[in-house]
Structure 1
Amino acid sequence: GTMNENALQYQGMDRFECRKKLVKDLQEAGVLFKIEDHMHSVGHSERSGAVVEPYLSTQWFVRMQPLADAAIELQKKEEKVNFVPDRFEKTYLHWMENIRDWCISRQLWWGHRIPAWYHKETGELYVGLEAPEDSENWEQDTDVLDTWFSSALWPFSTMGWPDVTAEDFKRYYPTDVLVTGYDIIFFWVSRMIFQGIEFTGERPFKDVLIHGLIRDEQGRKMSKSLGNGVDPMDVIDKYGADSLRYFLATGSSPGQDLRFSYEKVESTWNFANKIWNASRFALMNMDGMTYDELDLSGEKSVADKWILTRLNETIEHVTQLADRYEFGEVGRHLYNFIWDDFCDWYIEMAKLPLYGEDEAAKKTTRSILAYVLDQTMRLLHPFMPFLTEEIWQHLPHQGESITVSQWPAVVPEHTDTEAAADMKLLVELIRSVRNIRSEVNTPMSKQVKLYIKTSTDEIASRLEANRSYVERFTNPSVLKIGTDIEAVDKAMTAVVSGAEVILPLEGLINIDEEIARLQKEFDKLTKEVERVQKKLGNEGFMKKAPAHVIDEEREKEKDYVAKRDAVQKRMAELKG
């Protein structure tokens, strides 16, 4: 009796005050012999920062063994859940094989209340879908379900389950793919799987695509406490939603973390701009052409055949890679095709017929521009939905929206490997002439002599057939193509597939001036090499400097030496 009365005097006290009083009372009663400090970790509330007091209480649990067993069995079947990347299946199975019973009750304000009632008089327990009949005599449990319990029902409860004849349920369940982060495989993915099996008898989805976290530029996790989070709305205000989306979707590979970087979003924004400008060029040259007037059957140039071939390759690669969720690779193929092939080369070459007099050639070029853009916009649409819809609506098109248009398919008769090989040779040749010009500071506007010595007559005739392109893009005063080009004494040369490109120096540069310019360049580079080597030879620097700084200096040294040697070689050639 006395114990209870003594205990009541502490009722309603602040816990910290109570502790002090308890210690004092024990000391006064003469039963406290020794006090010592004890280090232990104390839980604090995430929101209020208050110290959390642990106490024993009754909780609801789910018995996990039978559910886990069924989930492990599922992974042995054909109709299992496929993890991408598949290494995460091990993580998942490891958890399932070492399962503990799951505590599903939570003492929170919000959530689904546990469907359990206690009789006010007898204390009897009732669990059911409906409240008991004489509800005034029963009290419902105040606990709510763990958030993961209800979210595990998501794949089928959203489809109309428990009504298994619901249209959505019949059509969409099991769903195709769940995309989620690796940090909630246990909390969410595994629970969706075993509840799916328990309630519907099958897997809730075919694939689980696991992505990484987005970290900051330094590779740290974004968190409130570090204050290093990036607000997507700020990025969108500056660079548009498409740039951010394309960067996020193509910037990482499955299961890998991604570093957020403004620089990369900006380069995506440049890419989007490039697409916009190329489309504007195409649209300005459509001349009111409608979808029904598109005609790819006319006579095609080598550039036309090549771009259609490259489009086929791109459709094939993008489709295969997207099916495997390799969106980084998808991005790489789209970027290369759109930026290099379509914008930098095809559009430049399309200007020849578009600004020419031949009406049939104009119509074919227009049709190909419209067709290739239409197909490319569809491939790009999942990554840049706004830009692609806007462009597509202005192109000659059929249908309401690009979102519901057909995904592109390879058109076998558009593949022309010969034309593709010819174009590859032309591009290589034009690039090598441009490189030589920039190496000796000769602008494109200045005409130069150009000799192309081919290894076979067949290559010579292929180049001869495309002579107009070579002339248009290298601006020669004289152009000779053949196997029998006589050697030129002083010339700049470059080797391309099956041919040697020769530009005689006399027309290119004033040799004495160029030697003098190179000598200056050589002296400057020699100084740089000496400076870096002195630094790397300095013991104090080598001891104190961080590794990455030393690496940077070594890189500089390599770079300067290579440049200096190249300049020396050019001088020797010129002095000849």
Structure 2
Amino acid sequence: MEIAKSYNPKEAEETHYQTWEASGCFTPEINKDPDAETFSIVIPPPNVTGSLHMGHALQHTLMDVLTRWKRMLGYKTLFLVGVDHAGISTQLMVTRQLKKDEHKTPQDIGREAFTERVWAWKEKYGNTITNQIRREGLSVDWSRERFTMDESLSKAVREVFVRLYEEGWIYRGKRIVNWCPKDKTVLSDLEVKEETRKDGKLFYLQYPVKDSDKKLTVATTRPETMLGDTAVAVNPDDERYTDLIGQTIALPLTTREIPIIADEYVDAEFGTGAVKITPAHDPNDYEVGVRHNLEQLNVMNTDATMNSETGAEFEGLDRYAAREKVVEKFEELGLLEKID
């Protein structure tokens, strides 16, 4: 037998790991002691669309050390491995591939065909993560490998949600979410990239106080959302507006009247010190709305066009077109103070 002149770690590691995996060294059943205590740990499933980085390596190493230590102490151990379907990321990757290869959109091929493409993509490209985990040498039980879209896991999630609902621990209600009008789906905060537009404008709109010659000026970057305003808020300690708290605004471009409320959320030193409150279209406004029991008036459709709540003049307009029209109407009414 010829001995290699130098040690080849890649070859040795692959050979050893294949032997360990084939012989079931990392399964709980390797421990034959019927009285052995159990120890299990679940790997936080990495996204199937990505690849492992140094953060994963550190985390996995710590988990593997714990698992191997418990195994050596005589515990019946299970280090459960799996990957996450990363819904939005996977959808984006397949959408890009579809556009590049066939110049089509998901809507062109339909939901069922697109879902099939997603599964095919997962089978073709989803092995990067699992191969990397093997390269790490983790003592995970591959015979129990899981994918977050496995039917058994989906069933377990549904069962837990039903149980929690029946026991009164969860409820269904309205909340502010990140919505993508292009893909028509909710996005997590981690999937949203915040950017400050250099060409953004600040519109100063005047709101008439009912039964008075006074006007309140509010500043906003999104004038179209004023159609969903349900209050104007001022700081309770702001002496400029003390006499207006509790009075009513005749909301321009609508037939609605909205209250002037006091809330410490408002920074009296910022802008005009008066803030339009649109609970259905701003997370901070939502919280103010909950505190004051304000109506959550959604004025947009899922494709970011204005809905019927905005009136016939605005219904169906894209949000940016509606923005221009709202500004135009305020200017016609003499209620546009300035644009910065």
TM-score per shorter chain, which class?
Answer: under 0.3
**Higher RCO by CA contacts (8 Å cutoff, separation 6 or greater):** 2
**Higher helix proportion (structure 1 or 2):** 1
**Higher strand proportion (structure 1 or 2):** 2
> What is the TM-score of this pair, normalised by structure 1?
0.16
> What is the TM-score of this pair, normalised by structure 2?
0.24
Larger radius of gyration: 1
